[in-house]
Amino acid sequence: MNKATSTEGTLHSSASPSLRDEKAGKILLVGFGPGGKEQMTYRARAAIEEADVVIGYTTYIKLVQDLLTGKEVIRKGMTEEIDRCVEAYEAAKQGKVVALISSGDVGVYGMAGPTYEVLFQHGWTPQSDIQVEVVTGATALNACASLVGAPLTHDFCSISLSDLLTPWTTIRKRIDAVGAADFVIALYNPKSGRRTQQIVETQRILLQHHDAKTPVAIVKSAYRRRQDIQMTTLDEMANKDIGMLTTVIIGNSSSYVKEGLLITPRGYANKYDDLTGEAKDGEKAGLSLTMGLEGWHGCVRRWLEAGNHQPWEKIAAHFNAPVGEILEAVAGASEEANGDEPAGGYTAVRVDTNLENIIHEAALWGKLRAVIRSPAGAVTECLLTGDQFEMKNDWLNVVTDAFHIHVNWANVDHAYLAKRGEKSLGAHFVNKAGDMVFRLLLVKEGDDFNPDAMAAFEKTWKDLK
Ligand SMILES: C[S@@+](CC[C@H](N)C(=O)[O-])C[C@H]1O[C@@H](n2cnc3c(N)ncnc32)[C@H](O)[C@@H]1O
């Protein structure tokens, strides 16, 4: 183990380890904030002062130099993270109070995780003699956000672009997911001397979801001597000066820059005409929005009642929800209407058990159109009859000379029988998330549905309800 140990300043120590109970060792995992003294918490300062031994990356040790007088100091290189944890454990076993320091928050891409892993590997438990305390600090995304306005006022996430320990496929998937979900994103470890393309690739993925002019703040060395802030846009960010000590904050679709400040609105515009004005029609201060968890299905019904007669997919796109959720909202309306015309002529009934029965019954619905959509945009429609389906193991198959359909039946969680006025009748099979697996629609003969097929469909509806 490459050890660089020294005792700083005078010979005083706040408490001599030799006077302590041999078993009373302690590990303080200390996040000292972004780097400036004013940003360090009282507890972080007190924890470092309390320690006999301070262990940290060389640069971090420099940042807390004035607190190290009389302490044993162990400086480590950037890659020696596990060594730092092992040394902390060894020193604590000797009864010493050890501060293992980390910039920002020690639990955010910091030393808290590896330390617990090392401790557990050595048989440590929270009931053991060695106490462990995690001392929180302001993480880089908080520190950087505070310097550029208020970019984190709505849902945000952090992603580290370091692929030293995380496969790029995992990082890529996360960038794609949060881009699609419109989070504000803080990128940690965006670039280093060797890792230069990760930020370029991140930009490419996010541009698939976001406007090119989405505001971006690039903050280097927040609250340190070389602090630097650049305001830019998503399409420009990868060309900017970004280094190891930079955090990149990318706004969401509502974020904007005004007077040089990056702001993400809290959402007041959803409820009020202006920040100090009256609540909008239907909204009430202190209550969830009409589009809140308990209200949004009602909004779907009212939207349909208002004459927005669209195909299921278009409705789902309008509400930015899976088709299954729209069908659920319509099924709720159908139940409430109890026979009356609900939701603008849209009706649905949910089926949770014996879904195979729908397939059997579909043999009586005449000619059918099976519709399968790929998430990437292709739509397949095949004409068939219900008696062509065959269940084999977990697969529902239709095999003809013209096409093969293979549905993984294990993915089908529930189904809806649904009517879109006189326009479309059929069964919609969805997965747990409400995404459409496939649907079977009755086919019209000329302008109308075949009366026998319709009667059979109505019978299925009644029987399965
Ligand atoms: C290994 S992570 C450590 C994060 C740290 N534990 C925290 O909570 O901030 C290192 C990354 O944190 C970010 N970072 C840390 N300190 C920063 C600062 N003062 N200014 C800007 N970014 C910083 C940078 O993205 C850097 O690449």
Predicted confidence (pLDDT) at residue 12 exceeds the cutoff of 80: no
Sign of the torsion angle spanned by Cα atoms 76, 80, 84, 90: negative
pLDDT, position 337: 66
- Residues 136, 369: Cα–Cα separation, whole Å: 59
Q: Is the CB of 56 under 6 A from ligand 1?
A: no
pLDDT, position 334: 73
* Residue 224 alpha carbon, nearest atom of ligand 1: 19
Distance 38 CA to ligand 1 centre (A): 17
Domain 296-464: assigned CATH number:
3.40.1570.10
| DSSP conformation class of 193 | S
* Residue 110 alpha carbon, nearest atom of ligand 1: 6
Distance 90 CA to ligand 1 centre (A): 27
Report the chain's mean pLDDT, rounded to a whole number. 92
Distance 30 CA to ligand 1 centre (A): 14
Q: Which CATH architecture has domain 141-263?
A: 2-Layer Sandwich (3.30)
Angle value at C-alpha 332, between 326 and 336, nearest 5 degrees: 145
Average pLDDT rounded to a whole number, residues 231-250: 97
* Residue 189 alpha carbon, nearest atom of ligand 1: 27
Predicted confidence (pLDDT) at residue 15 exceeds the cutoff of 80: no
Domain boundaries of the chain, sorted by first residue? 4-138, 141-263, 296-464
pLDDT, position 70: 93
* Proportion of the chain above pLDDT 70, given as a percent: 94
Distance 352 CA to ligand 1 centre (A): 49
Name the residue of 135, 246, 249 to mutate for ligand 1: max ligand atoms within 8 A of Cβ. 246
pLDDT, position 333: 80
3-state class (DSSP) for residue 38: helix
Distance 115 CA to ligand 1 centre (A): 19
Distance 299 CA to ligand 1 centre (A): 43
Buried b (16+ CB within 10 A) or exposed e, 64-73: beebbeebbb
Q: Is the CB of 386 under 6 A from ligand 1?
A: no
Q: Which CATH architecture has domain 4-138?
A: 3-Layer(aba) Sandwich (3.40)
Q: Is the CB of 109 under 6 A from ligand 1?
A: yes
DSSP β-bridge partners for residue 4: 75
Q: Is the CB of 195 under 6 A from ligand 1?
A: no
Q: Atom 5 of ligand 1 has which residue's CA nearest to it?
A: 104
Q: Is the CB of 221 under 6 A from ligand 1?
A: yes
pTM for this prediction:
0.90
Average pLDDT rounded to a whole number, residues 435-451: 95
**What is the DSSP code string of 401-452?**
SS-EEEEEGGG--EEEEEEETTTEEEEEEE-TTS-EEEEEEE-EETTEE-HH
Distance 220 CA to ligand 1 centre (A): 9
Q: Is the CB of 202 under 6 A from ligand 1?
A: no
pLDDT, position 80: 81
- Residues 157, 208: Cα–Cα separation, whole Å: 18
3-state secondary structure 67-129: HCCCCEEEEECCCCHHHHHHHHHHHHHCCCEEEEEECECCCCCCCHHHHHHHHHHCCCCCCCC
pLDDT in tens, 120-138: 999 999 999 999 999 999 9
Q: Atom 2 of ligand 1 has which residue's CA nearest to it?
A: 109
Distance 108 CA to ligand 1 centre (A): 9
Distance 162 CA to ligand 1 centre (A): 12
Q: Is the CB of 52 under 6 A from ligand 1?
A: no
pLDDT in tens, 259-277: 999 999 998 888 888 777 8
pLDDT in tens, 309-361: 899 999 999 999 999 999 999 998 877 766 666 788 899 999 999 999 999 99
Q: Is the CB of 35 under 6 A from ligand 1?
A: yes
Decide: 312 and 417 in contact? Cβ < 8 Å.
no
Q: Is the CB of 144 under 6 A from ligand 1?
A: yes
Decide: 53 and 72 in contact? Cβ < 8 Å.
yes
Q: Is the CB of 81 under 6 A from ligand 1?
A: no
Q: Is the CB of 219 under 6 A from ligand 1?
A: yes
Extract the tokens encoding 117. Answer: 């892993």
Distance 140 CA to ligand 1 centre (A): 5
Distance 143 CA to ligand 1 centre (A): 9
* Proportion of the chain above pLDDT 90, given as a percent: 83
Span of 138-147, 181-190, 246-255, 284-293 with lowest mean pLDDT: 284-293
Q: Is the CB of 139 under 6 A from ligand 1?
A: yes
Distance 50 CA to ligand 1 centre (A): 25
Confidence of residue 10 (pLDDT cuts 50, 70, 90): very low
Do β-strands 184-188 and 156-160 pair in parallel, antiparallel, or remain unpaired? parallel
* Residue 138 alpha carbon, nearest atom of ligand 1: 8
Predicted confidence (pLDDT) at residue 17 exceeds the cutoff of 70: no
Q: Is the CB of 224 under 6 A from ligand 1?
A: yes
Predicted confidence (pLDDT) at residue 13 exceeds the cutoff of 60: no
Confidence of residue 23 (pLDDT cuts 50, 70, 90): low
pLDDT, position 343: 81
Choose among 137, 145, 160: nearest CA to 219.
145
DSSP β-bridge partners for residue 406: 397
